[in-house]
Amino acid sequence: MRNTLIASILALLLSPFCQAQQESSDIRQDEKIPELLELKKTLEKENKLSNEFTVQLFYGDLKSAEEVMDDYKKFYTTWPASLEYETPNYKVWVGSFGNRLDADRALLKLKEKFPSAFILRPNIQ
């Protein structure tokens, strides 16, 4: 017990005199890294690197797509909806979910009114 006490006191008294190693590091990185980081930020702002999921309610002609969009807006306000055009069809997309679980939860609610709805991971160009 006494030896432990003496060792503890010595450790406390001598600890201010201990010094860590002092070494500096020189980090060298490729010149293109900052440029690539800026490019990535730009692409993310424009949603071109999206890993998100969305729910598609409908695809077909413009008039029907607008009707589905109006129906959606009457019953749901939780997620934003958009009308997308991909030759030759219009698509009604709902939400932008960061993971599949959130998209699945939304799909369960949306299927009550839109039984043909499904989840997709859009390739935005």
Alpha carbon 50 to its chain's center? 8
pLDDT confidence of residue 123: 67
Neighbours of 43 (CB within 10 A): 13
Q: Which of 56, 68, 65 is nearest to 89 (CA)?
A: 65
pTM to 2 decimals? 0.59
Instruction: Return per-residue pLDDT of the chain as tens, 125 residues.
Output: 778 878 778 777 766 666 666 777 888 888 888 888 888 888 776 656 667 899 999 999 999 999 999 999 998 888 999 999 988 999 999 998 988 999 999 999 999 999 999 999 876 54
pLDDT confidence of residue 114: 94
What is the token pair recorded at 92?
């009604």
Domain boundaries, the chain: 51-120
| Adjacency order of strands within the sheet including 118-120 | 81-86, 89-97, 53-60, 118-120
Residue 117's φ and ψ, nearest 5 degrees, are -65, 150
**Alpha helix ranges (H) inside the chain:** 2-14, 32-45, 62-75, 100-110
Name the architecture of domain 51-120: 2-Layer Sandwich (3.30)
